[in-house]
Amino acid sequence: MDLSMSEKTYFKQCVSELLCSEQVRMMDTFIQHADVSCLDHCLSVAYTSFWMSRRLGISVDRRSMIRGALLHDFFLYDWHKKSNRKGLHGFTHPRTALENAQHQFQLNEREKDIILRHMWPLTPIPPKYRESFLVSFADKFCSVMETLRLRRPGHVTV
Ligand SMILES: [Fe+2]
Ligand SMILES: [Fe+2]
């Protein structure tokens, strides 16, 4: 799953803007699957979405897709621990991630849709944009790879 040098440079530029935020970097302190942190997971999903769009020749708003993917699990809590959060994590975390992201960044409609609809079809409303479908698919793919420990932490370096 290699990107060309120029694609890698572009990817790094897009994620670096978001990684300036201490809150975004805090995702590295929460585990998502197996031993992979939320930040590593989000980087993997962003990288995989971008790689798929390039290799399959799917025309996308690349910057919005990478940014939305990096913020799709920006919920900032340990979902493995029981707490007094209302609702089931699988259903509620896209909205929490969107609210956190909107506190930190100005998001466009694509970026919002990517974050809010990434759990489809578990959540009932389907994504509106092809960028959101790609991220939703990449999220499922990366989640399986991480849970089966076929992808190690730090798989994507920036
Ligand atoms: Fe998620
Ligand atoms: Fe995810």
Q: What is the pLDDT of residues 98-154, one digit of tens each?
A: 999 999 999 999 999 999 999 999 999 999 999 999 999 999 999 999 999 988 777
| Rounded average pLDDT over 70-80 | 95
* 72 Cα to the center of ligand 2, angstroms: 6
Please state, in angstroms and as integers, the Cα–Cα distance from residue 13 to each residue in 6, 103, 125, 158, following that order.
11, 21, 31, 9
Contact 23, 14 (CB under 8 A): no
Burial (CB count <10 Å: 0-12, 13-18, 19+), residue 151: buried
* 70 Cα to the center of ligand 2, angstroms: 9
| Residue 82 clears pLDDT 90, i.e. is over it | no
Please state, in angstroms and as integers, the Cα–Cα distance from residue 1 to each residue in 25, 29, 32, following that order.
24, 26, 22
Contact 44, 51 (CB under 8 A): no
pLDDT in tens, 12-41: 999 999 999 999 999 999 999 989 999 999
pTM of the model: 0.95
Ordered by where they begin, the domains of the chain are 14-147 (1.10.3210.10)
* 4 Cα to the center of ligand 1, angstroms: 28
Predicted confidence at residue 137, as pLDDT, reads: 98
* 88 Cα to the center of ligand 1, angstroms: 12
